[in-house]
Amino acid sequence: MQIWVPGLRMLLLRAVLLLLVLPAHGQDSVAEGPGVLLPLPKGACPGWMAGIPGHPGHNGTPGRDGRDGTPGEKGEKGDPGLVGPKGDTGETGVTGVEGPRGFPGTPGRKGEPGESAYVHRSAFSVGLESRITVPNVPIRFTKIFYNLQNHYDGTTGKFHCNIPGLYYFSYHITVYLKDVKVSLYKKDKAMLFTYDQYQEKNVDQASGSVLLHLEVGDQVWLQVYGDGDSYGIYADNVNDSTFTGFLLYHDTN
């Protein structure tokens, strides 16, 4: 059994390589003359064998980074990406400085004609000067408090409508000596009834009010109704019985 020593093996390898190299040096030149060796012509094949390749050397240290290359051409625009989710609402910013005043805008369209500036008026307020003893006829209130437009006729006791629209009527009756049955009429039709029973040795009051729509030519008045003696409407220098009416608003059509 042979035992190889690593150092001895390397020594023998070097000796073999040396023997192979020496003949090559003797054949590289051609004698030209005594003591002169000429080199072999190019292309001549030396008569020796190549040696065994050595072990690969260690990796060298990395070289320095090269210089940056020139920028390339701009690429084509890519496809739009997907819309991302809506972000949270940010905080309210600080109010900016008021900007300069803008130019006047163009005038708007002309508006529709408004109602007439003329104010329609119709009103009266009248009272009794003595007690009433006749039933079923218009009561003539001859004590005039207000009748500037003369739409109330004191000779007939009737109000005459001159302006179509909505009217308010009211009456306040002093009751004395007899019961009272009074009604408010419009165009020969009773619209409102009031009854008050007289209390002996006492002065009582009866009243009523109503809204009525009137046309031009309509008439409104008060009268005692019934066949009995219910005509206790009373008035003197300290007790009044009154009848009042006025226009709330006129018809626009």
- Do 156 and 140 meet the contact criterion of CB atoms below 8 Å apart? yes
Highest mean pLDDT among 17-21, 66-70, 195-199, 219-223 belongs to: 219-223
- Do 150 and 169 meet the contact criterion of CB atoms below 8 Å apart? no
| Element holding 236 (H helix, E strand) | none
* 3-class DSSP assignment, residue 24: helix
Q: How confident is the model at residue 118 (pLDDT cuts 50, 70, 90)?
A: confident
Fold classified for 123-250: Jelly Rolls (2.60.120)
Amino acid at 176: Y
Q: How confident is the model at residue 10 (pLDDT cuts 50, 70, 90)?
A: confident
Mean pLDDT of 85-104: 88
pTM of the model: 0.54
**How high is the pLDDT of residue 199?**
83
More confidently predicted of 119 and 123? 123
Distances (CA, A) of 138 to 152, 203, 204, 239: 13, 23, 22, 20
Distance of CA 78 to the CA centre of its chain: 40
* 3-class DSSP assignment, residue 252: coil
**How high is the pLDDT of residue 29?**
45
Q: How much of the chain exceeds pLDDT 70, in percent?
A: 83
Instruction: Name residues whose C-beta falls within 8 Å of residue 59's C-beta, 6 or more positions apart in sequence.
Output: none
Three-point CA angle 132, 136, 139, nearest 5°: 45
Give 193-243 pLDDT, tens digit per residue. Answer: 999 888 888 888 889 999 999 999 999 999 998 777 777 788 888 889 999
